[in-house]
C-alpha cells in the first residue's frame, strides 16, 4: 500500500520540504543495504533533525498504520534496513551532532546519525575512543540498533556493552530515556539492552550516551603465520584461555591472505593462515612480557612465521588491509555479490567451525574467504555469486545454512555481529526455541500495529 | 489470602514432603532478608531440586493466582525477596549443583542455588573465577536476579555483563533458555539482560551459564590515605580517567577506617579517608609501571600515606577487613539496624556525592560510614537506628532520600547494586520517568496475574 497523498503532504510539513523526498534516486538509495538482499523502494524518505521531528513522523505513521524504517548509513549486511513493505524511511544522517563529550566521565552523548569514525576522530583530541568498529562507515544509531562489534569486542565489548543511556521514540510517538549515567545500576528493568540490537523493530533510537575508553598509550602488534587454519585457530583459543587480554585477535585463511598480498603493495605474507594480534596497554614493559607469552604459545602450535614489534605506521597499514579485505574480495569477483557468513561459537570450538566452513565450501568447489574476529569466536566466510542465478546461488545458501546449523549445534549463534535482518530469519526458530515466542510478544507489546521496520528479525 | 489446603497438599506432592514446610521456624527464616524492612511470613516454603519442580510449583500458583517469591540466600539489603503478599516461597538453595565447567570456553553452567564463594573455590582448581563479589554469601541466582556487582565490577563488569545463557521459568510455567554460548551475538532480542536484574518479577531463573575470567597470575595492591574524602575521591576519578584499569578501587571514609582499626588486630591506619587499590595482571613489570603512575597521581592529590607491595597474606586480610566492615558497623551499634545507601553517579561526580553524603549525615549529628566501590561511582553510607522509633528513623530515611535525589540530579541511579526491592520503589518514578510505564507493561506482559514476587520494584 503506497503512502496516501495526505500523509505525504503532512510529512513534508513535519520535516520541511528540503528534508523530504519522493524522488526516484533518493528512494533507490534507500532501497538496499550492502547485502545481496533484494532492493525494495520506500514511498518517502525523510531526514529529521531532532527527536521531536522523529516523534511527529512516527506518530503520524502510527495513526495511519504506515511502515516506518529507520536508516543509518546503509552499510549493514543482512538487509536490516531494507523497507520491504515500503512506507516511510527515516534517514537519521542529518542527526549527526555530538551533543556532549564528558571526558572526565569517559562518556559522550551523540545523535544517532553520527558516523563512528567521525566520532573517534573528535574524541582523539581528548585521548578517548569508542572501541566497537564494524569496519564500514556505520552510524552510531545503526551500530546500537544492530549491536555491532568488530575487531576489538574481545577486550572492550560489543556496542551493547557500552551504552549508558538512550533516547527512543516508541511506535506511538512516546519518547523515553532509559538508562543512567552511572557506571552501573540495579535499578529497574534494563530497557537499554532491550532496544540495543533490536534493529529498529521496537522503537527508533535517536540519541545515545556511550561509554568511552582512554586511548591506550602503548600498542603492540604481531603477525603470525601457521601452516593450517586449525593450528591458527587453536592458538587463538589458547591465547584466550591463557588469561591474556588481547585487544584484537583476527584470523585470516589462506584465500584471504592471498588477496591481501595481491591488492596491497605493503605486504607479502606467506600464503597460509595468518593471525593478527594486538595488545593495548599502559606501558611497554607489561606488553613485552605478554608478547613473550604469546610467542611461546604460537611456537608451541607450530607457527611458521612470527613478526612482532610492528611500528605505528605499519600497524595502520595492516588494519587498513584487514578492513579493505571486503573490497578486495569484491574486486576479485567483478559483477558478483557476496553472501556473508557471520556465525559465532564458544571459543574452544573455533578450530571446528573454521575447519567445517572451509570443508563445506571446498567440497563444492566454491572459494570461501575465511576471516574473522577469532578471539570472540566469530567467523566470516564471504562467497561470491550471482543472486539471480538460482542454482549456483542456491549452493552458497546451502553452505550458509550448513555452517549456521553447525554453529548452533556447538551452542553458538547464527549472527555474531551482522544482526538478523532478513537473512537470518530462517534460523531464529532453531536458535531461540521457545524464547522466540516471548520475543514476538515483546515486539507485539511495543509495536502493536507492526509499523516499525516490518519484515525483520521474526 | 492464605494458601488453600488443596494447594498445600498439591505442593507437597510436587516437591516431596521433605522439601516442603509450613513450620513456623522455616516460615520465619523466609520472612526477612538482611535489610531493615518489615518481615512478612510466607504460607509455605518449598525447596525444589530441579527446573521441572519449579515449573510445576509455578504453574500451580499461576492457576490458583497465588504469589510466588524466589529465594536465594536472603542476603539482600532492600527487602528484595520478602514475601510481602505471603504465598509460596521457592527456596532455590537445594539447586546447588555446578553442572558444567567448560574451562576452555571460560564458562560454567550452574544451578541458581550455588553459592558464589563455593563456585569460586571449585573454579580455582581450573585457574578460573567468577569476578562479581557482593561480599555476602549470596547465591548465583540471587546475584543474577539482582545484578549484583561489588568490588571488581570496575574491571570485569557486573553480574549482568557475564551471563551467556539461562533457564527461566515464566509465570505460566513455560520454560525458556534465552542466550547463547558464543562470546557475542546480534541474534534477536536480549532476553538474558531483561531477566538479569529483574528481581524475580518476570520469571524464576533456575540455571545460568556464566562467563569466567582466568585468575590473574599477578596482583598488586596499595593502600593510600588522604586528609579529606574529597581528595580521596578526586584521586579515584583521576585514576579512572588516566586509562589505567584497576581491578578494585575502594574508598573508606574516616568513620569506616576507625572501625577497621578498632575491630581488627592487623591494621592501624591513619584515621583519615583511605583508598584500597588493586591491579590484576599477567606480569610484574606491567603492574609496577602502573603502580608508579598511580603513586604519582595520589601524591599530586596530597596523599598522606602510600603503602604498596602488600603480600598475598596481608592483601587477604585487607579484603577480609573490607568485607567485615558491615559486621563491624553492626557490632559498634548493638541492637540497632542499618539503613544502607547505594547511590551511584558518573565518576567525575564522586567527590560531590561523597561530600554531600557526609554533610547530610553530619549536619544532623548522625554517624554515617561512607565506603564504597568508588571506581564505579557507587557509594554506601550505612547509618544505624531503630526502625520502630519513627522519629529518629525518619531522620535516617530523610538523609537517604536526599542522597538519592542528589545522585539522580547528577545523572546517577538510586541503586548501584542492591536492587530496588521494597526500599527503592519511591525513587523509580523520578529515576525512570516515562520508561517506568514501559517497564510496567513488560511486567504485565510476562506476569499478567501479578503472582511473581509481588510488591517489588514498582
How far does the CA of residue B146 sit from the closest CA of chain A (Å)? 7
pLDDT in tens, A408-453: 999 999 999 999 999 999 999 999 999 999 999 999 999 999 999 9
Band of residue B241 on the pLDDT scale cut at 50, 70, 90: confident
pLDDT in tens, A156-185: 999 999 999 999 999 999 999 999 999 999
- Mean pLDDT in residue range A11-39: 97
- What pLDDT was estimated at residue B298? 97
Percent of the residues in chain A that have a pLDDT greater than 70, as a whole number: 100
- Mean pLDDT in residue range A39-46: 98
* One CATH from 1.10.15.40, 3.30.43.10, 3.30.465.10, 3.40.50.1480 for A98-214: 3.30.465.10
B175 touches chain A (CB under 8 A): yes
A417 touches chain B (CB under 8 A): yes
Which H/E stretch holds residue B367?
none
Cβ-based neighbours of A4, under 8 Å, separated by 6 or more: A64
Percent of the residues in chain B that have a pLDDT greater than 70, as a whole number: 100
- Mean pLDDT in residue range B348-368: 96
Q: pLDDT at residue A79 above 90? A: yes
Look over chain B and give the mean of its residue pLDDT values, rounded to a whole number: 95
- What pLDDT was estimated at residue A1? 60
Residue B88: what are its φ and ψ, rounded to 5°?
A: -100, 130
* One CATH from 3.30.2320.30, 3.40.50.300, 3.30.70.2740, 1.10.3210.10 for B333-440: 3.30.70.2740
List alpha helices for B284-389, DSSP H.
Answer: 284-300, 312-332, 350-362
Band of residue A136 on the pLDDT scale cut at 50, 70, 90: confident
- What pLDDT was estimated at residue B433? 97
- Residue identified by cell 566521565 is A105
B-chain residues near A191 (CB < 8 A):
435, 438-439
Q: pLDDT at residue B2 above 80? A: no
B438 touches chain A (CB under 8 A): yes
On the question of a common fold for A5-91 and A98-214, the answer reads: no
Q: Which of A174, A182, A416 sits opposite B185 (nearest CB)?
A: A416
- What pLDDT was estimated at residue B314? 85
Look over chain A and give the mean of its residue pLDDT values, rounded to a whole number: 95
| Domain B5-91 classification at class level | alpha beta
| Domain A333-449 classification at class level | alpha beta
pLDDT in tens, A265-316: 989 999 999 999 999 998 888 899 999 999 999 999 999 999 997 778 888 8
- What pLDDT was estimated at residue B391? 96
- Mean pLDDT in residue range B127-141: 94
Per the model's pLDDT, the better-predicted residue between A310 and A357 turns out to be A357
Residues B2, B4, B5, B11, Cα dihedral to 10°:
-90
Lowest mean pLDDT among A85-94, A141-150, A158-167, B236-245: B236-245
Percent of the residues in chain A that have a pLDDT greater than 90, as a whole number: 91
Buried b (16+ CB within 10 A) or exposed e, B75-90: bbbbbbbbbbbbbbbb
Per the model's pLDDT, the better-predicted residue between B438 and A319 turns out to be B438
Q: pLDDT at residue A383 above 70? A: yes
d(CA A187, CA B417): 8
Band of residue B443 on the pLDDT scale cut at 50, 70, 90: very high
CATH 3.40.720.10 fits A216-331, yes or no: no
Q: A395: phi > 0 → left, psi -120 to 50 → alpha, else beta; which?
A: alpha
The complex's ipTM works out to 0.96
Band of residue B315 on the pLDDT scale cut at 50, 70, 90: confident
B290 touches chain A (CB under 8 A): yes
- Mean pLDDT in residue range B433-439: 98
- What pLDDT was estimated at residue B1? 60
- Mean pLDDT in residue range A137-155: 96
B418 touches chain A (CB under 8 A): yes
How far does the CA of residue A106 sit from the closest CA of chain B (Å)? 7
Cβ-based neighbours of B279, under 8 Å, separated by 6 or more: B219, B220, B221, B244, B245, B246, B247, B287, B290, B291
- Mean pLDDT in residue range A368-391: 95
Q: pLDDT at residue B390 above 70? A: yes
- What pLDDT was estimated at residue A274? 96
B149 and A184 in contact by Cβ < 8 A? yes
Map out the domains of chain A as residue ranges: 5-91, 98-214, 216-331, 333-449
Q: Which of A188, A293, A434 sits opposite B282 (nearest CB)?
A: A293
Mutate to test the interface with B, among A127, A149, A172, A183 (most CBs of B within 10 A): A183
The CATH-assigned architecture of domain B216-330 is 2-Layer Sandwich (3.30)
Amino acid at each position: 500500500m503506497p503512502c496516501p497523498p495526505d500523509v505525504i503532504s503532512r510529512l513534508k510539513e513535519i520535516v520541511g520540504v528540503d528534508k523530504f523526498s519522493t524522488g526516484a534516486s533518493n528512494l533507490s538509495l534507500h532501497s538496499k543495504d550492502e547485502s545481496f538482499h533484494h532492493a525494495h523502494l520506500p514511498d518517502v524518505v525523510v531526514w529529521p533533525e531532532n527527536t521531536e521531528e522523529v516523534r511527529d513522523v512516527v506518530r503520524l505513521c502510527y495513526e495511519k498504520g504506515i511502515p516506518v524504517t529507520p536508516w543509518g548509513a546503509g552499510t549493514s549486511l543482512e538487509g536490516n534496513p531494507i523497507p520491504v513493505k515500503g512506507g516511510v524511511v527515516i534517514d537519521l544522517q542529518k542527526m549527526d551532532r555530538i551533543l556532549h563529550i564528558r571526558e572526565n566521565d569517559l562518556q559522550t552523548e551523540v545523535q544517532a546519525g553520527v558516523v563512528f569514525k567521525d566520532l573517534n576522530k573528535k574524541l582523539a583530541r581528548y585521548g578517548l575512543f569508542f572501541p566497537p568498529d564494524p569496519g564500514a562507515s556505520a552510524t552510531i544509531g545503526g551500530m546500537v540498533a544492530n549491536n555491532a562489534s568488530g575487531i576489538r569486542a574481545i577486550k572492550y565489548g560489543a556496542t551493547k556493552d557500552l551504552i549508558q543511556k538512550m533516547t527512543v521514540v516508541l511506535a506511538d510517538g512516546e519518547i523515553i530515556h532509559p538508562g543512567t549515567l552511572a557506571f552501573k545500576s540495579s535499578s529497574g528493568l534494563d530497557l537499554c539492552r532491550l532496544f540495543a540490537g533490536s534493529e529498529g523493530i521496537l522503537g527508533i533510537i535517536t540519541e545515545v550516551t556511550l561509554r568511552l575508553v582512554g586511548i591506550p598509550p602503548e600498542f603492540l602488534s604481531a603477525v603470525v603465520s601457521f601452516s593450517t587454519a586449525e593450528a591458527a585457530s587453536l592458538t587463538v583459543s589458547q591465547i584466550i584461555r591463557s588469561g591474556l587480554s588481547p585487544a584484537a585477535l583476527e584470523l585470516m585463511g589462506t584465500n584471504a591472505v592471498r588477496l591481501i598480498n595481491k591488492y596491497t603493495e605493503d605486504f607479502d605474507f606467506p600464503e597460509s593462515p595468518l593471525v593478527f594480534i594486538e595488545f593495548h596497554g599502559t606501558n611497554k614493559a607489561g606488553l613485552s612480557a605478554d608478547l613473550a607469552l604469546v610467542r611461546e604459545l604460537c611456537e608451541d602450535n607450530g607457527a611458521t612465521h612470527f613478526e612482532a614489534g610492528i611500528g605505528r605506521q605499519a600497524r595502520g597499514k595492516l588494519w587498513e588491509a584487514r578492513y579493505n579485505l571486503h573490497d578486495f574480495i569484491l574486486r576479485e569477483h567483478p559483477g558478483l555479490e557476496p553472501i556473508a557468513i557471520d556465525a559465532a561459537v564458544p571459543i574452544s570450538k573455533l578450530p571446528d567451525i573454521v575447519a567445517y566452513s572451509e570443508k563445506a565450501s571446498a567440497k563444492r568447489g566454491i572459494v570461501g574467504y575465511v576471516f574473522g574476529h577469532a578471539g570472540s569466536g566469530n567467523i566470516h566466510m564471504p562467497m561470491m555469486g550471482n543472486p539471480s542465478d538460482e542454482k549456483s546461488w542456491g549452493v552458497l545458501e546451502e553452505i550458509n545454512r550448513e555452517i549456521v546449523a553447525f554453529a548452533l549445534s556447538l551452542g553458538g549463534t547464527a549472527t555474531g555481529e551482522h544482526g538478523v535482518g532478513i537473512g537470518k530469519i530462517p534460523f531464529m526458530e532453531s536458535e531461540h526455541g521457545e524464547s522466540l515466542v516471548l520475543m514476538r510478544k515483546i515486539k507485539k507489546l511495543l509495536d502493536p500495529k507492526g509499523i516499525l521496520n516490518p519484515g525483520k528479525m521474526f
